[in-house]
Structure 1
Amino acid sequence: MLFVGFIEEVIFRGFLFKAILQKRARLAIIISSVTFGIGHSVNLLNGAEYWQTFLQIGYAIAIGYLFTILFIKTGSLLPGIFTHGVLNAFSVFSGQSTFEQDTVVSVVLILISLGYAAFLKRLPQKTCASDKQHCLDQ
């Protein structure tokens, strides 16, 4: 589970975000975050419940947004890779839960992710490593 975070960060922030960033930064943020979330629909192939997968897609979009802002602010994939790996590792220890419990956890993850991303956006702008332009100023 630790290595899945590495691979996903390289794909969604390292390649996809940087490729779209060349044209429009805000669009790159949205596409990177949403495709990261939708990518979690693959869990349906592993027998996950529809409602659990839907909730996971929702909070994965928010976490993807946070990781994208984190990448913009730091200019590095490493904080996202580390945090993603830790989150994935902790998910291994989750047990059976009810719809209500999963919904509460999902809402909390969304609120924390969006709140932290909003906080990060207020910090001084970091230039993107790929093109040395201010990512959010485009």
Structure 2
Amino acid sequence: MNKTKYRLGIILFIVVYFVSTILLQFINGIGAGMVDYMIHSIINVAMYIVFILAFGLKKSLRFNLKSLGEGIVVGGAFTLWTVFNIFYYIIRGIKEYGTPLMETKGIIIFVIAITIGAGMGEEFLTRGVLFNFIRSAIGNTKAGIITAMIIPSMAFGLKHLGNLSGCSDPTPVYAQVIYAIGIGFLFNAVYVRCGNIWACSILHAAFDLSVMVYFCIYRNEGLEGVGSLVAEWLGYDALILKGVAITVGFFAVGLFLIRDSKLQKCIERYENEALEN
């Protein structure tokens, strides 16, 4: 019965998600600015939380310092990459511009919007709803968990196709779609290991901000030129190959994180939570 409930839940969520997306775009227009993006993100996060709670997965929202720290440690390679980006781009911004071209109020709104939109919104969507619903619909087996990791990763990558709007050269966006699939898979592996969605949310928001701090805050370019941001970040040559390389690398790391000796403990945790529900 539980599996059927979550299968129906997936269908219902997909319908509600697309209807709400269309309505929000109709009300405010596409790409209406960071304030509208923040408001949309808050509405979306609220919707994801409603689904998570309605289907008895409230434990997936729990905040625990121990598992939070475990998630950041388990995501070690990604954590180090993020820390490197933060220091590199802040130092570069200071050297080239001294102070950010974006005004202080804009910086605050930007940071809050990205934290809610990417950190919470995309994580609650892909991990909180999609991963948990798919895993519960298939079953807590190795095959079920890996399947539940792959599908949200693909959805996370394809979600970035929205950045094609107003983009003169689609190649950087295609590269972003590809490497986002790998990043999504790694986040799923971290989530399976630590069971703390807030760890993934923090890593996600910190990474996005680490890349954007120079391009969006110091140079004040905004998010309209995501394609050029990705191209400059990766380097302009062989963008697709670089995207593939990142994805292959993160898939390898993700599979290592959920190797059999570690995955069994995770399966036992999921089974115990299912019994409690």
TM-score, with length taken from structure 1: 0.79
The alignment covers a number of residue pairs equal to: 133
Aligned-pair identity in percent equals: 23
Larger proportion of helix:
2
Structure 1: runs of 5 or more not aligned? 134-138
Higher Rg of the two aligned structures: 2
| Aligned residues of 1:72 and 1:128 also touching (Cα < 8 A) | no
Greater relative contact order, per chain length (Cα 8 Å cut-off, separation 6+): 1
1:1-138 equivalence runs, <5 A:
1-3=114-116, 4-24=118-138, 25=144, 26-47=146-167, 49-92=169-212, 93-94=214-215, 97=232, 98-100=235-237, 102-103=239-240, 105-122=242-259, 124-125=262-263, 126-127=266-267, 132=272
| Aligned residues of 1:59 and 1:107 also touching (Cα < 8 A) | yes
Segment drifting more, 31-40 vs 1-10: 1-10
Cα deviation, residue 27, structure 1: 2.7
- What is the RMSD computed on CA atoms of the aligned residues? 2.5
Distance 1:19 1:99, change over 3 A: same
Cα deviation, residue 115, structure 1: 3.1
TM-score, with length taken from structure 2: 0.43
Cα deviation, residue 36, structure 1: 0.6
Cα distance in 2, alignment partners of residues 128 and 42 from structure 1: 38
Structure 2: runs of 5 or more not aligned? 1-113, 139-143, 216-228
Distance 1:48 1:34, change over 3 A: farther
| Aligned residues of 1:40 and 1:57 also touching (Cα < 8 A) | yes
Per-residue Cα deviation, 1:57-76 (whole angstroms, up to 9, x for no partner): 11000111111111111111
For residue 126 of structure 2, what is the amino acid of its counterpart?
F
